[in-house]
Amino acid sequence: MADKGNDPAVIWQTMIGEMEKGFNSFANQAMASPEFSKIMNQAGGAAAGAQKQFGEMMEKYLLSMNLPSRAQLVGMAERIQAIEGQLNEIKSLLQQVHHNSLAPEGGYGMTPRPPRTRQPPPEGEKK
Amino acid sequence: MNAPTGFDFASISERVQTEVQRAIQRSIKGVEYFSTSGPTLGSTPKDVLHSRGTMNLYHYRSQASEVYRVPVLIVMATTNRGYILDMVPGMSFIEFMLKRGYDVYMLDWTAPKPEEKSLRMEDYVLDFIPDSIRRVQQDSGEKEVSVIGYCFGGVLSLLYGSIFHDGPMKNLICFTTPIDFREMKLFSNFSDRRYFDVDRLIDSTGNMPPELILQSFDMLRPASRAAGQIQLWDNIWNDEFVKSYRMFDRWASDILPLAGEYFRTITKDLMWDNKLYNDTMTVGGHEAKLENIKVPLLHAVAEHDHIVPYDAAKHLITKIGSEDKEEVMLKGGHVSLVAGANAIKRLWPKLDTWLGKRST
């Protein structure tokens, strides 16, 4: 086999790796400046502002079309979620009651669990 | 003296032959790559113990004939999916822990829905984690629980431990957990309070969009995604490389949104005021000082972590109140510390040795 120093594939991979490192390091230096933060956040802020205005406009449009807005659907989802939460609580209470009253030690229909007796292997022993 | 090897015609012909074979393989495997969906991740058998909105508590089915007395609860980072710790069989941290005799639970997250935008830090620290611990206690029949927190899951575990310092947490393991947020230099600059209007962003988006989080992660190493794709093409003939690339790439792009109010607190209290490091952090009126934590602590950090640099994590060991504490720095990056070949060799056995003797 040709030695690694002359292998074009290895040279190519090393070059890509070095370029990646160099570019990352250069970009990190540039991104650490307050100017970068200012420009990045101005652009981000403008996009968020535009999104908010568009959302408000859509809400008015939906209202005029007699359709529920996103905020109304979110409100409804919140109520459904609260109901789901209560159902979950009831379900777990029922499971507890059922488990306590019916199941013998070890439980019905449940996979038997291993005993909690494990000890760490003595120091130096390979597992 | 070595003879020059540059004009060894036999080896050049061998090399050309290999390259031609690889070029053919690239074309075949390249088509295969786009027509298949990659390995199934997170497939270790588990039961959903509880699910409520963004919160999911799993219990993994035991794979050992006897288990340690103290169960383990893994608290996942809120920006990422838990399957990073449960890749394919043979490369799954969860599977490793089960085979080594731990009773494993995981608090994992799904994307908070728009209606969950009002979830606060209090909900995570004073409700989701204590609720999960209570359910683990109930399910396992044990009073004490060991907690493992990965990245921001570690921050949440620290906040929990500093408030509920009278128990029932038995041991705490943090993987790459930042406490000094000033030292996360680029994130700190991106969220500079002079230019980053977090209120305006959250008021208009509700939850913090995952695209913005992914973008900020990518910006830490802007050339790496493109370089990764070149590497993928170079190695597409290699099934193992492709499998590993797909697993990690899928996970890294699978970012969760963050609940709006929760993100507001992270930005203001942690990024801007560095309250956890300054011992001024409170959650729901409860003081969260690291010195309150007295349980045994293992903090694993990565030598080449570009997301949580060592300087952001190093003070945990000095600020924590525990007497039994250890920091271990391992080779690797933020992700390769916990998953992949590097983790199998380094972190997992270290964790097993440390936790095993504290789990009886």
Residue B350 token pair = 């270290």
The answer to whether the beta carbons of residues B220 and B264 sit under 8 Å apart is no
How many A-B residue pairs are in contact by the CB < 8 A criterion? Answer: 141
Residue B358, pLDDT above cutoff 50: yes
Residue B209, pLDDT above cutoff 50: yes
Residue environment code for B133-163, b if the CB has 16+ CB neighbours within 10 A, otherwise e: bebbbebbebebbbbbbbbbbbbbbbbbbbb
More confident residue, B74 or B3: B74
Q: Which residue of A has its CA nearest to B70?
A: A116
Distance CA B60, CA B98 (A): 8
Residue B198 token pair = 């977090």
B13-17 mean pLDDT: 77
Distance CA B158, CA B165 (A): 10
CB contact under 8 A, A24 and B11: no
Interface test mutation site (partner A, options B19, B115, B357, max chain A beta carbons within 10 A): B115
Q: Which residue has the tokens 């170079």?
A: B234
User: Which of B 270-299 lie inside 8 A of A, CB atoms?
Assistant: none
Residue B7 pLDDT level (bands cut at 50, 70, 90): low
Q: What is the mean pLDDT of chain A?
A: 76
CB contact under 8 A, A114 and B69: no
User: B240 vs A90, B189, B220, B237, CA distance in Å?
Assistant: 47, 38, 27, 9
A27-44 mean pLDDT: 82
Residue B322 token pair = 């525990």
What local confidence, expressed as pLDDT, does residue A12 receive?
Answer: 82
Interface test mutation site (partner A, options B200, B204, B306, max chain A beta carbons within 10 A): B204
Distance CA B167, CA B174 (A): 17
What local confidence, expressed as pLDDT, does residue A3 receive?
Answer: 59
What local confidence, expressed as pLDDT, does residue A79 receive?
Answer: 78
B103-123 mean pLDDT: 93
Distance CA B255, CA B67 (A): 33
Q: Kind of pairing, strands B325-330 and B282-283?
A: unpaired
Q: What is the DSSP letter of B58?
A: E
Residue A123, pLDDT above cutoff 80: no
Q: Cα(first)–Cα(last) distance of chain B, in Å?
A: 61
What local confidence, expressed as pLDDT, does residue A106 receive?
Answer: 47
Distance CA B221, CA B223 (A): 6
Interface test mutation site (partner B, options A38, A41, A100, max chain B beta carbons within 10 A): A41
What local confidence, expressed as pLDDT, does residue A39 receive?
Answer: 86
Encoded amino acid at B57, one letter: L
B32-57 mean pLDDT: 82
Q: Cα(first)–Cα(last) distance of chain A, in Å?
A: 40
3 state DSSP class of A122:
coil
| Complex ipTM value | 0.72
Of A19, A33, A111, the CB nearest to B61: A111
Q: Which residue has the tokens 């080896």?
A: B11
- Whether the CB of B304 is below 8 Å from some CB of chain A: the reply is no
Residue A104, pLDDT above cutoff 60: no
CB contact under 8 A, B204 and A48: yes
H-assigned helices in chain B: 9-35, 93-99, 121-122, 129-140, 152-163, 185-190, 198-205, 210-220, 224-234, 239-253, 260-265, 310-313, 316-319, 341-345, 347-356
Residue B27 pLDDT level (bands cut at 50, 70, 90): confident
- Whether the CB of B224 is below 8 Å from some CB of chain A: the reply is yes
Residue B33, pLDDT above cutoff 60: yes
What local confidence, expressed as pLDDT, does residue B310 receive?
Answer: 93
What local confidence, expressed as pLDDT, does residue A109 receive?
Answer: 47
B349-357 mean pLDDT: 94
Percent of all residues in chain B with a pLDDT value above 70, rounded to a whole number: 96
Least confident interval from B65-69, B126-130, B236-240, B284-288: B236-240
Q: Give the Cα-Cα-Cα angle B187, B342, B179 (nearest 5 degrees).
A: 30
Residues of chain B neighbouring A56 (CB-CB closer than 8 A): none
B255-279 mean pLDDT: 94
Residues of chain B neighbouring A13 (CB-CB closer than 8 A): 231, 234
Q: Which residue of B has its CA nearest to A25?
A: B221
Q: Kind of pairing, strands B55-60 and B104-109?
A: antiparallel
What local confidence, expressed as pLDDT, does residue A37 receive?
Answer: 83
3 state DSSP class of B29:
helix
Q: Which residues lie below 8 Å from residue B309, measured CB to CB, with a gap of 6+? A: B183, B184, B185
pLDDT tens string B135-158 = 999 999 999 999 999 999 999 999
The answer to whether the beta carbons of residues B258 and B116 sit under 8 Å apart is no
What local confidence, expressed as pLDDT, does residue A5 receive?
Answer: 64
Q: Give the Cα-Cα-Cα angle A17, A18, A23 (nearest 5 degrees).
A: 100
The predicted model scores a pTM of 0.80
Q: Which residue has the tokens 């160099």?
A: A22
Q: What is the mean pLDDT of chain B?
A: 88
pLDDT tens string B306-352 = 889 999 999 999 999 999 999 999 888 888 888 888 889 899 999 99
B221-245 mean pLDDT: 82
CB atoms within 10 A of CB B14: 13
3 state DSSP class of B265:
helix
What local confidence, expressed as pLDDT, does residue B25 receive?
Answer: 75
Q: Which residues lie below 8 Å from residue B271, measured CB to CB, with a gap of 6+? A: B181, B184, B187, B188, B191
Query: What distance in Å separates residue A60's CA from the closest CA in chain B?
Result: 16
Percent of all residues in chain B with a pLDDT value above 90, rounded to a whole number: 54
User: Which of B 204-223 lie inside 8 A of A, CB atoms?
Assistant: 204-205, 212, 219-223
CB contact under 8 A, A44 and B66: no
3 state DSSP class of B323:
coil
